[in-house]
Amino acid sequence: MAKPNYSFEKRQRELAKKKKQEEKDAKKRDAKASAQPDDATPPADEPASPVTTDTDTTVARPKVHLRSTKTADAGS
């Protein structure tokens, strides 16, 4: 009697699982693409959303403290 090849069976299950997941993702991408309108520009009666830049001061950023080289030299 032939011995079962468990590693082959496991690999086949993994491939089937991967294929099923890819089909599911493709279906989601298609649904998302069909839900979005073809014309991505906003209508003329609505103002365009403001573009944020790095110079926007409304965003709180953490303060970074750098060690000065004077204190490192003074300790030697």
Low-confidence stretches of the chain (pLDDT < 50) are none
- Predicted local distance difference test score (pLDDT) of residue 53: 59
Any domain includes 12: yes
In this structure, are residues 42 and 48 in contact, taking their beta carbons and an 8 Å threshold?
Answer: yes
In a domain, 1, yes or no: no
C-beta neighbour count of 2 within 10 angstroms: 4
Q: What one-letter code names the amino acid at 39? A: D
Residue 20 included in any domain: yes
CA distance 23 to 27: 6
Q: Report yes or no on 24 lying in a domain.
A: yes
75 alpha-carbon distance from chain centroid: 46
What residue numbers bound the domain in which 11 lies? 7-31
**Nearest-angstrom CA–CA distance, 59 and 18:** 41
Q: Could you give the number of structural domains in the chain?
A: 1
